[in-house]
Amino acid sequence: MDYGYLMEEAMKARKMAYAPYSQFQVGAALLCTDGSVYTGCNVENASYGAANCAERTAFFKAVSEGKRSFRAIAVAGGKKDAVDLEPCPPCGICRQVMEEFCSPDFVIVLGKNEADYQLYTLREIFPLPFGE
Ligand code: THU
């Protein structure tokens, strides 16, 4: 898979972010093993704790449409008016959601743009997961 393409999709999804409280806009693009891609953005709320991250939006969209098998997710995040994005590592809750559906070698693509990114595995960024 072209991870640059996945980063581009995450950057496009970031444009849909609803982040009036933090002004921090995030987009994610989730690649399923069947080749389909689900995107998501963060969706905030006046009750701050009700916010949903871009990564979970993408996962929940995919899972709610019957997808259960995933290969990679790209994340693009930064302040609303940022000229250059910086890598945006997933929060702890999103890592736990990834753990629910993905194998340890699931790929997380973090970067500044479609030409400047790094690859991580889920186990690298979430080394001691909780599971039942
Ligand atoms: N956020 C994400 O959507 N994904 C991340 O990986 C980190 C944080 C969102 C949550 C909140 O809307 C805003 O960024 C600031 O934390």
Q: How confident is the model at residue 25 (pLDDT cuts 50, 70, 90)?
A: very high
What is the pTM (predicted TM-score) of this model? 0.98
Query: 10 in ligand 1 pocket by Cβ < 6 Å?
Result: no
| Average pLDDT, integer, range 107-132 | 97
What is the rounded CA–CA span in Å between residue 69 and residue 102?
7
Question: Residue whose CA is closest, atom 10 of ligand 1?
Answer: 53
Domain that holds residue 30: 4-125
Give a yes or no: residue 93 inside a domain: yes
Give a yes or no: residue 95 inside a domain: yes
CATH of the domain at 15: 3.40.140.10
Would you state the structure tokens that stand for residue 3, as one six-digit string? 């991870």
Nearest CA to 26 out of 51, 47, 1, 50 is that of 51
Overall number of domains in the chain: 1
Query: 17 in ligand 1 pocket by Cβ < 6 Å?
Result: no
Q: Tell me the three state secondary structure of residue 71.
A: strand
Give a yes or no: residue 132 inside a domain: no
Read off the pLDDT of residues 33-43 as tens digits, 9 standing for 90 and up.
Answer: 999 999 999 99
